[in-house]
Amino acid sequence: MLPIDAAAHENRWRGRHPLEKAALGLGLTALAVALPPWPGAALVAAATLTVLLGPAGVAGRRLWRAFRVPLGFCVTGAVPLLFRLGGAGDGSGWGLSWAPEGPVQAVGLLLRTSAASLGLLLFAFTTPVADVVPRLVRAGVPPAVVDVALVMYRMSFLLLDAVRRVREAQAARLGHATRAAAWRSLAGLASTAFVRAFDRAQRLERGLTGRGYDGTLRVLVPAVLPSRPFLAGTALLLIGLIVATLVLERLLP
């Protein structure tokens, strides 16, 4: 199981309805995109970090390990805004020059994308996929699509475990000692993973047929109702962030 999935299953909000956590996480993500980068996105990022490390109880080390990957993409997307093509901006030449408004735009983009990523991580760290996908049928998603998503989700962990074991076996046999051996091991790993995936799919099909599969996978979902106080608190938090952004935007230069 991936670390973020393990954290979602162990999270203190594990028993809450996914709608509550979606309203909070996706609502913060929407505010990060809609509000001005300063001070809106900065306030959203601070609020999201407070919720993640506080009420949600996400460990700081786990959060950093998951956040550093999207943060790298955020930084990569912001750096090109620091430069422009065309020399002095008069249309002559194709030289690379410093953009006068580049730092402001880069920082704004970095704040906005970082805050939006934290909002998505809030939902991911508190909501297991197994709690969300079966409920998508009620939202109008075709049952066949939900079944395929569930099967792929469950089989992905089996395949990842199989790949890990094959890599360990190859390393124990000096399969990565040289560059040529590493390439051969990589090719063998890909072929083995494909064969095992095909074999598991066939066994799964035979097992479902033997159990009278009629086109729908029935999954037991905990009967939990959305908490009105939690949703009300989420609405107050989002409204408070909007009001604080509008007030600070007038006060700050």
Answer yes or no: do 123 and 139 share one domain. Answer: no
DSSP state of 18: H
- Local confidence band at 236 (pLDDT 50, 70, 90 cut-offs): very high
As given in the structure block, the two tokens for residue 60 are 């700081």
* In a shared domain, residues 119 and 228: yes
Question: Would 217 be classed as within a structural domain?
Answer: no
For residue 216, being part of any structural domain is answered with: no
Mean per-residue pLDDT, 92-119:
82
Structural domain that includes position 72? 3-127+223-251
* Position 218 in a domain: no
Look at residue 10 and tell me if it is in a domain: yes
pLDDT single digits (tens) 168-213: 888 888 777 888 888 888 888 888 888 887 787 788 777 777 777 6
Q: What is the DSSP string of 147-209?
A: HHHHHHHHHHHHHHHHHHHHHHHHHHTTTTSSHHHHHHHHHHHHHHHHHHHHHHHHHHHHHHH
Is 165 among the domain residues? Answer: yes
- Domain-located, residue 174: yes
Q: How far apart are CA 12 and CA 104, in angstroms?
A: 39
- Tally the domains of the chain: 2
Do 152 and 81 lie in a common domain? no
pLDDT value at residue 45: 92
Alpha-carbon gap, residue 114 to 124, rounded angstroms: 15
pLDDT at residue 28 in the model: 93
Q: Residue 48's pLDDT is what?
A: 93
In a domain, residue 232? The reply is yes
Position 3: which residue type? P
192 and 87 co-located in one domain: no
Question: Of 37, 32, 179, nearest to 107 (Cα)?
Answer: 37
CA distances from 197 to 122, 144, 184, 188, 189 (A): 32, 20, 20, 14, 12
State pLDDT tens for residues 15-73: 888 888 889 999 999 999 999 988 889 999 999 999 998 888 888 888 898 898 888 99
Tell whether 246 and 155 lie within a shared domain: no
151 and 57, same domain (yes or no) = no
* Predicted local distance difference test score (pLDDT) of residue 208: 72
Position 177 in a domain:
yes
Domain shared by 195 and 106, yes or no: no
Distance separating alpha carbons of residues 103 and 82, to the nearest angstrom = 6
237 has a pLDDT exceeding 90 = yes
pLDDT tens figures, 72-103: 998 998 888 888 776 555 555 566 777 788 88
Tell me, yes or no, whether 111 and 69 share the same domain. yes
Write out pLDDT tens, residues 121-150.
999 898 888 778 777 777 777 777 777 777
User: For residue 182, what are its two tokens?
Assistant: 């590493």
Residue 223 has pLDDT above 80, yes or no: no
Given this model, what pLDDT does residue 191 score? 84
Interatomic CA distance for residues 14 and 188, integer angstroms: 39
Looking at the fold, whether 93 and 52 belong to one and the same domain comes out as: yes
**12 and 109 part of one domain:** yes
Q: Which residue has the higher pLDDT, 219 or 13?
A: 13
| Percent of the chain residues past pLDDT 70, beyond the cut | 91
Residues 9 and 123 in one domain: yes
**Under 8 Å between Cβ of 18 and 122:** no
97 and 169 fall within a common domain: no
